[in-house]
Chains A and B, each alone.
Chain A
Amino acid sequence: MLVFLFSFPVFAGTNHLFVSNEKGNGVTVLNATDYTPVAVIKTGARPRGMVFSPDHKLLYVACGGADRIDIVDVVSLKVVGRIGDIDDPETFDLDKKGERLFISNEDAGALSIFDLATKKQLKSVKVGLEPEGVLLNPDDTIVYVASEGSNLVSVIDVASGKRTDIGTDTRPRRFALTPDGKELWVSTELAGKVDLIDVATNKVTGSIDFLPPGMRKQDVSPVALVMDKDGKTAFVTLGRANHIGVVDVKSRKVTGYILVGSRPWGITFDKAQKRIFVANGGSDDISIIDVASRKVLKSVPVGHYPYGVAIDE
C-alpha cells in the first residue's frame, strides 16, 4: 500500500506551476511534474508579483501596466475578479487570514493596504522612491517595504501606520525572513549583496557578497531570494550574473553558485523543498533546480520576460 502511494503521489492541489510573463501580458501554466504546457491565462498588462490565497484556491496577480490586481481561479485557470485603481502594483503580500493585500505602488512611492472583501483601500503609507519588495512578519503586525530608489527599508506598524526607516546598500529589492523571525534579509541589487537586518533593533548587522566564478562585481545584481523551512540554506537570484547564489544561513557564507538562464529573477521552492523554480527574464524560460544536487534538471520555455514563479501542489 505504501509503495502504491509513493509511486502515485496524490496532489492536494492542482500540481500547476504559474509563471507571470511581464511583457507577455499573461500567466503561463505548466504541469509541475512533466512541465508540459497547460494554459496561458490572459491578464492585465505587465503581470509581475503573484501570491496565493491561504487556501490556494485563488492566485492574485499584480498587473502594473493595468493598475490592477487580477484574481485567478487556480482550478478553472480563469480570471474571476479584479481589484482596480491600484497605482502600478508590482509586488505584494497577503495577510495570513487572506483578508488584506499589502501592495507596493512603485510610481506613487507608497504602500497601500487593500481589504479583499470590500475591494477598498484601507490605508496608504508613504515610503521611499520606487517601493518594491513587501513582506509581512509572521503575526502580521509589521510590514517591511524596500524602496529601491531611496536605498531604504521601511518598517511599518500595521495597526498605527507608523514608519521607521533603515538605510541599506544600493537598490534594495526583495526580502526573506529567517524561520525564527529574527533576521530580515534584503537583496541590494546594485551593491551585489544581501543585507542582513536584525529585526529587534532594526539595524543592518552585516551583508553577504556574491561573485560567481569568472564574473565581475558590477555584473552581479541580486533580486529575489528564498530560504528553506529549517533556515539552513538560502538561494538568491543574481540577475545579470545568470547564476543562483547558495548561502549557508548560519555562517552567512556563500557555498556555491548554480548557472541558470539569462537574468534570473523570481524564485520559489516546491512544497517538499526538493526543487527550485527560477524565472529567467532574459531568456524567456524557467530553470528547474534539484536542491540536493544543486543541478539544473531542465529549462522550460514560457512567455515573454518571465518575472515570477508560483506552485500549487
Chain B
Amino acid sequence: MLAIAAHAAPLSHDIAVGYVQVADDPRYDAREGPAESTITPGRPVVGAQMAIDEVNIDAGTSGLTYKLIEQDAASGDKLAATVDAMAAKGVHWFVVDAPDDAMTALAKAERGKDVILFNISARSDALRGAACQPELLNVIPSRAMLADALAQFLLARKWPKVLVLRGPLPEDKADADAFAHAAKRFGLSIAATRDFIVSNDPRHRDQDNVALLTGDATYDVIYVADSDGTFARGLPYATIYPRPVIGATGLVATAWRWSWERYGAPQVSHRFKKRAGRDMGAEDWAAWLAVRALDDAVRESKAADSAGVDKYLLGPAMNIDGAKGPPLSFRDWDHQLRQPILLATADAVIADAPMSGFLHQTNVLDTLGYDKPETKCKF
C-alpha cells in the first residue's frame, strides 16, 4: 500500500538527519511580522536542533546518536539538487522548510528516490492531494485541517453565519478556499465573501473601508484570509457590528502556541524559548516533531535498515508524543500527520480541535483535513 521505494540501507549507529531550507525565504522576512496565522517569527531550524539534543539523551538505551546536517538551498529551485547531493553522501531523512511551490517541486523531483522528506512549513492542500508524493511526510497541518478546526469551533459555539474577507495574495485565496470547503463540510453558511485591499484610495472604498466591508450583511463572525497581516491586524474592534474576528487574527488555528499549557506543552515551549530567545511557533514545533517522530520509529521498530524504520514510521503502531494530548501518527492515504489543532487568541489557547462531539468511525483526529474517502492523493 505504501508506495515508498524499498531501499534498504543498513542503519548506522550515527544517524544523519538533513535539514534543508531555502536561503532568504521571503516568508520569514516581513519586518512588521506577518499575520499571527502565517508563520513563526524566526527560522524553525532551532526546533530540529532542540529535538536532536533531546533524542541524544537516551543514546544510553538505544546506542544511537543523531546529528543534524544543515544546508541552505540558494533558491527554491535548487532544493532538489541540495537534497540529492546530501543523499549521495548517505543522508536518508530530511527535514525541509520551504514554501508551497518549492516543496511541491522538490517532492516531485524526489519521487522514487531513497529519501524521506518531512514537510514542516508548506500548508498546501494539493501536497496532501493531487500533488502528494509517497516520500513526503507532512508534519505541519494542511490549510484544510486549520479551516476544519475553525469550522468545528464555530459550530460548537453556534455561530454558523460567517462573513469572509479575502486578501489579494494567492495564499489568501487558498486560505479562503479551504475555509469555504470547511464551511460546506460542516454546514456553516457564508453570508458573503468580499475581497479587500490595503489602500486609502477613496475610489476603492468598497474594498479598503472596514465599515463598508463589514456592513450590509447578517453574520455571527468574520473570517479574514490575510497572510500579509496588515489588514487583519486592524480589523478587530473596527467592524461595523460587534462581531468576533477569526482566521488571520483574533482566533487563529495553529499547530502550536506558547500559551498551550496541557499535556507537557509548557516544558517543550520553555526549552525552546531558552534556546531560541523567542516563543515556539507552529513550524518550530513541526521541525521538533519530525526529529522526535524519526527517533520513535527507529527505537520502536528496532529495524536494521532505513526501509524498516520508514515502514514503522508510516504504520499504525506509531504513537508520537507531540505534547498535544492524543498519540500522533501519519495518515496512510496522504502521509499527513494526524494531530489536534489549537485555536488561540494572542494570549491564550481557547480550544483544541477536534471539538468534543465531532465523531469519526476510527479516529476523531481524522475529522480534521481530507479523510480517506475524500482524498485526491494517489501514491
Contact = CB atoms under 8 A, between A and B. Distances in A.
Contact of B326 (A151, A152, A219): A219
Given A148-B264, A167-B299, A129 B57 contact: yes
Contacts of B321: 148-149, 151, 170-171, 190
A23 to B, nearest CB: 10
A150 B60 contact: no
A170 B326 CA distance: 11
A191 B329 CA distance: 12
B296 A170 contact: yes
B375 interface: no
Given A148-B264, A167-B62, A190-B321, A129 B363 contact: no
Contacts, number: 63
B325 interface: yes
Contacts of A216: 362-364
B61 interface: yes
Contacts of B271: 107, 129
B264 A150 contact: no
Nearest to A191: B319
Given A107-B270, A167-B299, A190-B321, A150 B54 contact: yes
Contacts of B320: 170
Interface residues of A, number: 23
A191 B268 CA distance: 19
A167 B62 CA distance: 8
B61 A165 contact: yes
B327 interface: yes
Nearest to B295: A151
A150 B54 CA distance: 7
Interface residues on B, range: 20 to 34
A152 B267 contact: no
B61 A129 contact: no
B58 interface: yes
B319 A129 contact: no
Interface string B23-67: 000000000000000000000000000000010011011100000
Contact of B61 (A152, A191, A192): A152
A129 B267 contact: yes
Contacts of B264: 130, 148-149, 171
Contacts of A192: 327
A167 B296 contact: no
A13 B87 CA distance: 68
B154 to A, nearest CB: 24
Contacts of A106: 267
Interface of A: 106-107, 109, 128-130, 148-152, 165-167, 170-171, 190-192, 216, 218-219, 240
9 contacts: A128-B58, A129-B54, A149-B264, A151-B58, A152-B57, A165-B60, A170-B320, A171-B264, A190-B319
Q: Which 8 A-B pairs have the closest CB atoms?
A: A167-B61, A190-B327, A218-B326, A165-B60, A130-B267, A165-B61, A190-B321, A150-B58
Interface of B: 54, 57-58, 60-62, 264, 267-268, 270-271, 296, 299, 319-321, 325-327, 362-365
